[in-house]
Amino acid sequence: MTRTKSARTKLVRLGQILRVFMEKEKVSSSWLSKEFHTTPRTIQRDLQLLKESGFPLHEVQKGSYHMSKDLVKNLEVFDDTELALIVALKNMVGQLGQSFQKAADAVLDRLHECVTTMPVFVKIDDAVPMDSLLLNRLVKAIRGKKQAGFHYDSGKGPHPVIIEPYRIAYFGGFWYLIGKELSSGIMKRYAMDKIGNFRLSKVNFRAVPENLDQLLKGSVNIWFTEDRNLEVTVLVDASCSNYFKRRKMLPDQEIREERPDGSIVVSCRVGQYEAVRSLLKSWIPHILILAPEDFKNSLLKDMKQWIKRQEKE
């Protein structure tokens, strides 16, 4: 309880320090120490954490700091508690890589728009609750490039896993750990709420794959693979074709043909059919699978089984 209270006090202080920098051109660490009734060493740690979290703080002369306000947008509308939360979020995502940092900044921009223009509504799906202790240990493993082991419950009972942990990713309301399973050498994803008995190894791995963040950025769901050697071709009805024209609804989507009746032929490339199976089902009856034949038959089998079950109810 005491530790939690201390962490909360520190976060609030960080938010208040951030506001001071938003209001003043130059601030000395000694003044901050007196203002917040704490030691100079504590203030130095606070300033260092703010810098590591991505805030543009610079020491203009010994003991005096300046924050580039042109690089910090949209923070003036938040109160001290909200600023503390922003500091915590930026610090957490900053440890997960540049792509997470950019995503967090984009979310903050959208939050600012919601606050300043109330007619705007942004719906963000609720996520499966995440174990903060597990998150912290995973971040430590990723930053330290340490192998890790855990038990994973895939629905058939827990089984042991040893991996090189690369990234934590959020897709469709679920948090995933992405890494290479050492026993198979395959890049896999693990739902974090199914991970138990996590253990950090002393064994290091060399590096996170350079193209991983790009792969994640180009994926519409968690079913991504590096080799996208399977092509799926779909006919989209005129009633829905506009959605596919306005944004990419499928991974690596390409519009192959626009027909006179307004329908379109769309193709996409995936590494496994699971990447689009559920997506395409959500568009039934407004689509037809044109190719490949085996995937079309597999989807058709799913639909027939569903119809039989539905007719029995």
Tens digit of each residue's pLDDT, the chain (313 residues): 455 566 667 777 888 888 888 788 889 999 999 988 889 999 998 888 888 777 778 888 888 998 876 555 556 656 666 676 677 767 666 666 666 667 766 766 666 565 555 555 555 566 677 777 888 888 889 989 999 999 999 888 889 999 999 998 888 778 899 999 999 998 888 999 999 999 999 999 988 888 888 878 777 667 766 667 889 999 999 999 999 999 888 888 899 999 999 999 999 988 888 888 888 998 999 999 999 999 999 999 999 999 999 988 7
> And the tokens for 220?
């519409």
CATH assignment at residue 36: 1.10.10.10
Counted domains in the chain: 3
The per-residue pLDDT for 76 is: 60
- The answer on 301 and 204 residing in a single domain is no
The answer to whether residue 223 is domain-embedded is no
Residues 53 and 147 in one domain: no
Q: Is residue 23 part of a domain?
A: yes
- Same domain for 184 and 254, yes or no, is no
The CATH number of residue 176's host domain is 2.30.30.520
In this predicted structure, what is the pLDDT of residue 132? Answer: 76
Provide the CATH number for the domain around residue 235: 3.30.70.920
Three-state SS letters, the chain: CHHHHHHHHHHHHHHHHHHHHHHCCCEEHHHHHHHCCCCHHHHHHHHHHHHHCCCCEEEEECCEEEECHHHCCCCCCCCHHHHHHHHHHHHHHHCCCHHHHHHHHHHHHHHHHHHHCCCCCCCCCCCCCCCHHHHHHHHHHHHCCEEEEEEEECCCCEEEEEEEEEEEEEECCEEEEEEEECCCCEEEEEEHHHEEEEEEEEEECCCCCCCHHHHHHCCCCCCCCCCCCEEEEEEECHHHHHHHHHCCCCCCCEEEEECCCCCEEEEEEECCCHHHHHHHHCCCCCEEEEECHHHHHHHHHHHHHHHHHHHHC
- Would you state the pLDDT for residue 3? 58
Residue at 302 is within a domain: yes
Asked whether residue 57 is domain-assigned, the answer is yes
pTM: 0.52
Q: Which of 81, 116, 151 is the last residue in one of the domains? A: 116
**Are residues 48 and 100 both part of a single domain?**
yes
Within-domain flag for 121: no
Q: What is the pLDDT of residue 93?
A: 63
* Residue at 62 is within a domain: yes
Verify that 17 and 44 share a domain, yes or no.
Answer: yes
Q: Is residue 250 part of a domain?
A: yes
Is 60 part of any domain?
yes
Domain that holds residue 277: 230-312
